[in-house]
Structure 1
Amino acid sequence: MARQYLSIDVGGTAVKSARIDHSGNIIVRRRAVTPRDQAAFLHLLTTIIDRQPGVAAICVSVPGIVNPHTGAVKVTGALAFLGQFPLAAYLRQYAGLPVYVGNDANCATLAELWLGNLTGVANGAVITLGTSVGGGLVINGQLVHGPHFRAGELSAIVNNYDHAAPHQATVGASTSAVKMIATVATACDLPDPTDGRWAFEVINRRQAPAWSIFTAFCRRVAVLMVNVQAVVDLERILIGGGISAQPILISEVRRQFRLLQEGDRRLMDDIAMPMIMAARFGNDANLLGALYGLLLKIEEEDR
């Protein structure tokens, strides 16, 4: 039987896990609610491991700052209870198996680099749109971590220099897909402010005021891409996150990018528009990317 691996994707609301083979085929998958304290969280991880005997190794995707060499994590937000924690060492000691831990946006990028829409692309990126904005950069065919393991932290880019509150001046504050959907729901009296399907029904009909809220959001995404292009000049930028399944999002971001260029000759002359596409792997991206990170680590250690 081919080798199989346990991949775990830790999110703010759910912890997903899957048994995956060496080629990226998902054999079985599970889902659990993310606990709200460290003891319960670690107990959930060990329970997931116990339910998948016989795997060759374990890989984990987590939000936050991750040292991919040691697997130590620094987590904030919904998982702040973890703080700074040697997650890979903890799981390695428990399971007696090789363990890889990676940042969630980096894992999503690795999935696209391995089997998705960045395969064969030397210089590209994934921008994930959700509660905040995540990112992963590929330069010369390699995922960029940076010396402080913070490369791709696109949510921290300041896009409003005059805002009095620094946090509110960032991409993460202004370009939340979750907030956009909630704003559309409130403005259009939709029954559930968290259900993107309702929001995109009115967006696809170009119903007011949903359309203007949506196009303003897409313009902010396009501005972010212009800023990224000004620094690294990429061939292709993928949009990830659940919202990326909506074709109208991709087409509108492309349109807004062109409008920005047409509105300023400098942007037309100095900035090249990349190929803008949806990421391939939706909700499975972090599971697959964590596995690819593990396989790359094993390959590097065997050299």
Structure 2
Amino acid sequence: MKKYICFDIGGTKVKHGLLLADGSILSKDSYHTHGKDLELFLNEMIDTINMYTKNNTVSGVAISLPGFINPHTGYSKRGGAVKALDNQNLKKLLKKRISLPVEIENDGNCAALAEKISGNAKNCSDFICVTIGTGIGGGIFINGKLLHGHSYRSGEFGFMITQAGNEDKDILHSNASTNALIKSYKKLKNISESESIKGETVFLESSHNSSVKKLLDDWISNVSYGIYNLAATLNPQKILIGGGVIAQQSLIGTINNKLDQLHWWKDIKIPVESCKYQNDAGMIGAMYHFIQKKGK
């Protein structure tokens, strides 16, 4: 079975792995994203690719990338949290240095593709995948087809305004992402912005600290508002939630409880579930995209 080198590039970490065509992950790891230095960013990708090709025969490199990505050319008008890729074409940049074929797709679309082909949306023709991480993204399937939008910007749910006029928290990126949760936690605890804090820290402390519990509760409410708006707009069969934060097993149930508290949810209610692949969805979806494009 053919092997593929897959990258899921995020604002905080670059996840990478060696995958088989059936979605099996032979090995995986991650490193810190150097999102502001293009040369350093490229060198680390090349080093990782060389590491995998040293002892493996691979069929290509598949990449899940944040931002406004043209999946046909690889050009990113905006690289999301990876500023170095604004107005760059990572596909062309890599092909100058390696001989392997390269394909790139938006990270939210990759997650949705993974769930559609072999995940929790296999039997759905219409569904939405929402990814919660450094920002809020996702993918939309309508009538069995992935929706890219006129300028490849569909699924950018993080730009929805849910708190108009509330300082820097107007949009979902700023009030419902994992980054937003950590930022609020640091402010509450008077922790330096430069200190590294994981989302799971907030969840753990919420069990015995009422102030942190209130902070987390407000954050989950913000997540539920975004989900509500998507359900009201597109009426999908289901909405799947992905990202590392979904490892918190109680989160999906709490989100559903929040939705049930919204007066009009009963009129538009749909199933809200977790993604099957969670943190691996980007890599798996990137590989599926590669296979669809190359036919191999």
TM-score for the superposition, normalised by structure 2: 0.89
Partner of 2:52, secondary structure, is coil
Offset at 1:193?
6.8
| Aligned with 1:202 (options 186, 205, 209) | 205
Alignment partners' CA distance in 1, 2:21 and 2:80: 33
Q: Is contact 2:115–2:276 with CA below 8 Å preserved after alignment?
A: yes
User: Which amino acid in the other structure matches residue 49 of structure 1?
Assistant: I
% identical aligned pairs: 29
Hey, what does 1:97 align to over in structure 2?
A: 100
Q: CA 1:32 to 1:225, structure 2 compared with 1: closer, same or farther past 3 Å?
A: closer
Hey, what does 1:177 align to over in structure 2?
A: 178
User: Which amino acid in the other structure matches residue 249 of structure 2?
Assistant: P
Higher mean C-alpha deviation, range 34-43 or range 118-127: 34-43
Alignment partners' CA distance in 2, 1:144 and 1:98: 24
Hey, what does 2:222 align to over in structure 1?
A: 220
Alignment partners' CA distance in 1, 2:181 and 2:69: 28
Q: Is contact 2:6–2:17 with CA below 8 Å preserved after alignment?
A: yes
| Aligned with 2:240 (options 238, 244, 252) | 238
Off by >4 Å, runs of 4+ in structure 1: 184-193
Offset at 1:180?
2.1
List per-residue Cα deviations over 1:195-244 (Å, max 9, x = no partner).
Answer: 33332223345x41222222222222111111111211011111111111
List per-residue Cα deviations over 1:57-108 (Å, max 9, x = no partner).
Answer: 1111111110001111133454212221122123234323321101111111
Alignment partners' CA distance in 1, 2:288 and 2:186: 38
Q: Is contact 1:245–1:278 with CA below 8 Å preserved after alignment?
A: no
Hey, what does 2:139 align to over in structure 1?
A: 136
| Aligned with 2:73 (options 64, 67, 70) | 70
Hey, what does 1:123 align to over in structure 2?
A: 126
Alignment partners' CA distance in 1, 2:233 and 2:70: 24
Q: Is contact 1:59–1:294 with CA below 8 Å preserved after alignment?
A: yes
Structure 1 residue ranges without an equivalent (≥5): none
Alignment partners' CA distance in 1, 2:98 and 2:83: 24
Q: Is contact 1:138–1:144 with CA below 8 Å preserved after alignment?
A: yes
Hey, what does 1:268 align to over in structure 2?
A: 266
Larger Rg: 1
Alignment partners' CA distance in 2, 1:190 and 1:212: 18
Higher helix share: 1
Higher mean C-alpha deviation, range 233-242 or range 29-38: 29-38
Alignment partners' CA distance in 2, 1:116 and 1:60: 19
Q: Is contact 2:76–2:88 with CA below 8 Å preserved after alignment?
A: yes
Alignment partners' CA distance in 2, 1:198 and 1:220: 19
User: Which amino acid in the other structure matches residue 173 of structure 1?
Assistant: S
Hey, what does 1:8 align to over in structure 2?
A: 7
**Aligned pair count?**
290
User: Which amino acid in the other structure matches residue 178 of structure 2?
Assistant: A
Structure 2 residue ranges without an equivalent (≥5): none
